[in-house]
Amino acid sequence: MVLPVVSASKKKKSKPSLVLTLGTAGVLIGGGVAAYLFLSQGKPFSSYLPPGANIIPQDALFTVSLTTDSGQWEKLRSFGTKEAQAELDKNLVQLRERFLNSNGYDFQKDIQPWVGEQVTIAVLPEAITDVNSSQTPQKPATDTNTLPGMQSMVMVLPVKNPGKAQSILAQPKNSSDGKFSERTYNGVTIKETQQVSGEKFSAALLDGNYLVITDNPKATEKTIDAFKNKQTLATSAGFADNFPKVATYQPLAQFYVNVPSAAKLATASSNRQLPAQVLAQLQNNQGLAGTLSLEPEGMRLRGVSWLNPNSQRQFAVENKAGTMQNLISAETMVMLSGGNLQRFWADYVLTAQANPQSPIEPEQLRKGIKSLTNNEIDLDRDLLSWMGGEFSVSVMPSVAKEGTPENFRAALVFMVKASDRKRAEDSLRKLDDVMKNQFQFQIQGTTVANKPLVNWVGPLGTLTATHGWLDGDVAFFVLGAPISDRIVPKPNTTLGSTLTFQQTVPAEPNPTNGQFFLDLERTGKYFPLQMLLPNQKYLVEATRSLGVTTSVSDSRSNRFDIFVSLKKGEKPMALPNTINTPSAEATPLPTVVEVTPQVTKTP
């Protein structure tokens, strides 16, 4: 598995930045989530929320809850290639050495006997001046490079055995490494320590059942106030209504992202700033939450996003996708489908306009099409106007016939159900004329299985593209390798009928407004994958396929499920005592091992 990396220097332990935390969230979201095991009926409402939801302040930028079940982490270690397993083990050992062994603690002996099933880590938004600091408070930072270090971390550990927890906390190990003090705030006793490295930690027991650890005394006070005044995540807009939609039994991890606040801070913390128009659009969104779980064949992510209650925007509940996989061949390597191309484009334009980081700038695409066709073809008038039905974009490998040169390694296949067939036919004829008159393509009519097709043959005699119609007013367009005979007539073995597709693309939510399928093993043989993450090759080599299913739950929220099919690895051995990696830099998905040592070191 690919893991985010940060410095693990023994000389200085730097505070994790928000950018790193959001990177971890990206790995969680991009990784996958759990078996469809819903929480049993009759449990109290709070059982559907992650631990600490009734403690963490409402304005938290990000939270992640992680299982303390060592069996689940061992199961995670069983996936992947030898190299992927070794990379994960290296990160876990480095964490153990940094946070437990170096402080004299053993997780199974000192922590596991009293900690609950999950621990929750949250990032609070603003810089907080240390209550005990003698330094003059600093002015708000103007250098965006300093922003990532300004957030505060809050950790909530449920206490299932108060007696054992007290016995550990009452006798901190290696106490000579730091200074300890005790004070009271709002009726709650706070124990504080300052490490020799400069790190400061505070601990407080709330409600008798939750141990709260922060890296700033002011963050502790803010958390106590939120708990006392009931201004927590559990009472924030949309959280309690939407989180139960993705709750599962015994998850590996759960997460929540405050979308507008996190996006604003993330862009301010980097050199790639989002324009004001894009940030304004993000203000319509409120939250993104998900649950990550392990299954026998991989990882599953159940996610939900919802709008700001003050937003005027509403989603159109139109889930009409889910048939395109039954029209394309089983050899398909990649497929993206949606329920309504017109609406898909309109939604994309809302967030992509004036955003230099968008993969496709809408206005540039419009101008580009007009320029290439000498103003003959208008994107909205001639194309999107009749594309109001389900659509798909797929990649299929070429199969060169004997004695025929292979001009293309694969074909890009576009399909769309026409909402206005007459207009569609007129537009396609106009497009044929443009290719003939402006680009000197030969427009050749042909017939396959009694279906009329149109071929575009380039000036050098190469068949470049084909378009035609399938049953049900579905138009198709093939660019690249000539694979029309694997679409017309309908193939005997379709992508949707393959075991790989059925086991990878989630069957829920249903009905759906879109799906995505990627056969990573086969795609990697045809196209080199762009490196986007550190150690990405380990993730790619460990993954078989990826599937996504989305749905509009209601006018205010969207649901999505992601499944990552992983290769089975060898049975993991016990973690080694040490891993000799000079100046290694790695931090995996945070586990209870990360947060516990700081807890036990507090008196």
**Cβ neighbours of residue 141 under 8 Å, at least 6 residues apart?**
127, 147, 150
pLDDT band at 259 (very low <50, low <70, confident <90, very high): confident
Taking residues 312-337, report their average pLDDT.
94
Is the pLDDT reported for residue 198 higher than 90? no
Angle at 554 between CA 379 and CA 122, to 5 degrees: 100
**Cβ neighbours of residue 428 under 8 Å, at least 6 residues apart?**
454, 467, 475
Question: What is the reported pTM?
Answer: 0.81
**Lowest mean pLDDT, pick from 60-64, 77-81, 244-248, 496-500:** 77-81
Task: Tell me the per-residue pLDDT of 355-413, one tens digit each, with 9 for 90 and over.
Answer: 777 788 899 999 999 999 999 999 999 999 999 999 999 999 987 665 555 678 899 99
**Lowest mean pLDDT, pick from 38-52, 287-301, 469-483, 530-544:** 38-52
pLDDT band at 511 (very low <50, low <70, confident <90, very high): very high
Task: Tell me the per-residue pLDDT of 298-315, one tens digit each, with 9 for 90 and over.
Answer: 999 999 999 988 888 889
Between the CA of residue 379 and those of 200, 372, 382, 430, what are the distances in Å? 58, 12, 6, 13
pLDDT at 170: 63
Distance, in Å, from the CA atom of 398 to the CA atom of 395, rounded to the nearest integer, reads 10
Q: Give exposure, 415-450, as e/b (b: 16+ Cβ within 10 Å).
A: bbbbbeeebbeebbeebbebbeeeeebeeeeeeeee
Instruction: Answer positive or negative: Cα dihedral of 221, 222, 224, 225.
Output: positive
- Mean pLDDT (the chain, rounded): 78
Is the pLDDT reported for residue 17 higher than 90? no
224 in Cβ contact with 280 (< 8 Å): no
pLDDT at 213: 85
pLDDT at 112: 82
Task: Write out the two tokens for 152.
Answer: 């505060």
Nearest to 300 by CA among 494, 38, 587: 38
